[in-house]
Structure 1
Amino acid sequence: MPINKTVAQRVMFVFICFVWGTTWLAMKIGIATVSPGIFAGLRWSLAGAIILLIRRALGERVVPPSRLWPRVTFISVLLITLNQVIQLYGLKTITAGLAAVISSALTPIALLGFSVATGQERFNRRQLGALGMGVAGVLILFGPATIAGTLNLWEVIGAAGVTIGCLCYCSGSVMTRPIMRTLDPVQLAGLTDLIGGLILLVAPVAVEPGAVRSLHFAWGWPAFLAWLYLLGPGALLSTTMYFMLVRDWGPSRPGTYAFVSPVIAVIVGCLWFEEKLHWGNALGMTLMLGAAFVVLRTTGPIQRSAVATSAAKPA
């Protein structure tokens, strides 16, 4: 008996929410024993190579025009290299749940900001209200500890790392839109994954502590399993399913995974890593996700498309 198409789509959506809600946990497991640059570089370079090899086997174009190479390389550094290494080092000092919330909440807001800066979108009152909610969420997360003088500096640095990495990715996402007039989105995804991943592999050998040792692959089975999870379900399967849902549902509806995945990340983090969640943290996270919800619900087709593009590679 054939599976109903609607049921299959819902199963794919649930799969995406769960997998992308647990990728932060897998990254946290991996970087506990492996150099962040090597861990991420191997994942993204291999994912990009697989995408481009499949395109080549199907007879589709792989190499971009020579005039686009500088722009594609620069965008690859923003989308993959800087985004990944900064976020992973930030993840070393904060919980996976907080990292997931910051990334999911900030992405649509940052995309809106960069779109406004490039003249692709305009602010309205509701969006300004959403920014206010986001700021309130941050103040609730860190304000009480600041006033009491008990603020954990390393936690702030970690949150700043995840934030900066997310901003790098969002700025790169907005920059990809003009290039998509020439390059196919999947082709561009493969190129950015491969180029950004290769830079992540080469650069750490010279500057990152433990990078050379990580290339000996004495990672331990938890890190290997985490890496395989991030490569297979986390990158290739979920991204393919996401593009299918964008095709069938439109860009905005699948993007609502951003409000489900962080909840999964927080719950699994509490169970797996015994991460603590206080009522102030929960309230702050709720406000940040509420701000993201307002932005997603009030933006026009152009911005929703940008959100969908960014959501395809959340972490």
Structure 2
Amino acid sequence: MSSPTPAPATAPQTGLAVLIALLLVYVVWGSTYLGIRIALDHGMPPLLVTSGLRFVVAGSVMFGFLRLRGVAAPTRKQWPTIMVMAALLLGMGNGLVVLAETTVSSGLAAVAVASMPVWMGLFGMLRGQRATRGEWIGIVLGFIGVVWLNAGGTLTGSPLGLVCLLVAPIAWAFGSVWSRGRDLPSPFMAAASQMLCGGVLIMLAGALRGERISAWPPLEGVLAVSYLAVFGSVIAFTAYVWLLHNVRPALAGSYAYVNPVIAVALGAWLAHERFTAHDLGAMAVILSGVVVINLARVRAK
């Protein structure tokens, strides 16, 4: 999902509401990597269904609901921006992660995606944003972790996974930074529109890749994709947008270093995934870099 620009908090929120929203973002988004793994293991085409159809369904539900509530649809000038964001954030950011999981574990995919804030910091500097010393330290740590992760261990045995997991967080970060200050509809409508556009683009890519549904998929695969669409794309994202509008941005964005831990734990527990010391060491360095970046931003504010 994209990260809408947070608005100032309008009123104090109860600690219970914040806790529930955080748990949804932490646990549900952290579990989507395992959900992708289950869908793929039960024969669901990676781009055509597991990623593309998921976003088409979720985007259609959100778009229709918002229109019924009277929320304005994107204007003709806003659609091109939404299309670019959909291609970068969902088409490349999510689609490539799903492709990667055809050859690598769900936990390892989550670890690689955790480097996204590092790339966001770099692209932000290229746009003229000055980085503090703490942010520089975090960026350097994150890059060391990314190089370590890609230099050996599990990823070296999967060229497709290596390329996908290197490009995916870069595309997501570039799209997030590029979108700042652009003319966009309200945050929820922007998300729904991106899911619709992104889902169609991913499904087209899947069709061009030769993906087909040759038989009725097993129930487990259908349930996994349904979980990704309803909980991962609608419920958890709604909770994330609510957090952006009601708590500190650093707290809302803390999912970046919580999701990989949950994904690794669930992968090891439910999918019996195994990780080398190399993988776990790279994960620790990447996550430490992300934590340092977030702490530096909080101190700067």
Scaled by the length of structure 1, the TM-score of the pair is 0.83
Over 3 Å counting, the alpha-carbon distance change for 1:116 and 1:78 in structure 2 is: same
Matches of residues 228-247 of structure 1 in structure 2 within 5 Å? 228-247=226-245
Corresponding residue number in structure 2 for 1:307: none
Q: What's the secondary structure of 2:260's corresponding residue?
A: helix
1:183-215 deviation line (CA, Å, top 9, x unaligned): 22222111111111112223322x223x2326x
Cα deviation 1:44-85 (Å, max 9, x = unaligned): 112111221112111120132x23333322222112122232
CA–CA distance in structure 1, aligned partners of residues 193 and 186 of structure 2 = 11
Instruction: Look up the match of 2:63.
Output: 52
Alignment partners' CA distance in 2, 1:264 and 1:101: 10
User: Within 2, Cα distance between the matches of 1:274 and 1:54?
Assistant: 39
CA distance in 2, matches of 1:257, 1:246: 12
Q: Note the residue ranges of structure 1 that are not aligned, 5 or more in a row.
A: 146-150, 305-315
Report if aligned partners of 1:259, 1:289 keep a CA contact under 8 Å in 2: yes
Counterpart Cα distance in 2 of 1:126 and 1:5: 32
Picking from 59, 80, 93, the partner of 2:90 is 80
CA contact (8 A) 1:99 1:159 kept: no
% identical aligned pairs? 24
Q: Which of the residues 81, 90, 95 maps onto 2:105?
A: 95
Check 1:144–1:37 CA distance in 2 against 1; reply closer, same or farther (3 A cut).
Answer: closer
The code of the aligned residue for 1:262 comes to P
Three-state SS of the structure 1 residue aligned to 2:217 is coil
Is residue 7 of structure 2 the alignment partner of residue 9 of structure 1? no
Asked if the contact 1:91/1:162 (under 8 Å) is kept, the reply is no
In the other structure, the counterpart of 1:194 is: 196
Q: Does 1:183 align with 2:185?
A: yes
Distance 2:180 2:67 in 1: 23
- By how many angstroms is 1:143 displaced? 4.6
SS at match of 1:298: helix
Give the superposition deviation at 1:152.
Answer: 5.8
1:47/1:231 contact within 8 Å kept? yes
Aligned to 1:127: 135
8 Å contact kept, 1:87–1:163:
no
Structure 1 CA distance for aligned equivalents of residues 18 and 178 of structure 2: 30
Deviation at 1:236, TM superposition (A): 0.8
When residues 219 and 143 of structure 1 are mapped into structure 2, their CA distance, relative to the original with a 3 A threshold, is same
Runs of at least 4 residues of structure 1 off by over 4 A? 142-145
1:309 match: none
Cα deviation digits, residues 103-135 of structure 1 (max 9, x gap): 12x12111111112222x222332222222223
Contact 2:39 2:222 in 1 (8 A): yes
Please give the alpha-carbon distance, in whole angstroms, between the structure 2 residues aligned to 1:25 and 1:45.
20
Once the 2 structures are TM-superposed, how far is the Cα of residue 287 of structure 1 from its aligned partner?
0.9
Superposition pairs for residues 1-315 of structure 1, below 5 Å? Answer: 5-32=14-41, 33-39=43-49, 40-64=51-75, 66-104=76-114, 106-119=115-128, 121-141=129-149, 143=151, 153-180=156-183, 182-205=184-207, 207-209=208-210, 211-213=211-213, 218-299=216-297
**Residue type of the alignment partner of 1:130:** G
Q: 1:8 to 1:68 in 2, by over 3 A?
A: closer
Mapped contact 2:100–2:165 kept (Cα < 8 A): yes
User: Where does the alignment leave 5 or more consecutive residues of structure 2 unmatched?
Assistant: 1-12
Q: Distance in 2 between matches of 1:264 and 1:75?
A: 27
Q: Is the 8 A contact 1:89 1:158 kept in 2?
A: yes
**SS class of match (1:63):** coil
> 1:140: Cα distance to partner?
4.2
**CA apart distance, 1:22:** 0.9
Aligned positions, number: 287
Question: 1:75–1:242: structure 2 CA closer, same or farther, 3 Å change rule?
Answer: closer
Q: Is the 8 Å Cα contact of residues 121 and 139 (structure 2) preserved in structure 1? A: no
What is the deviation of 1:223?
1.0
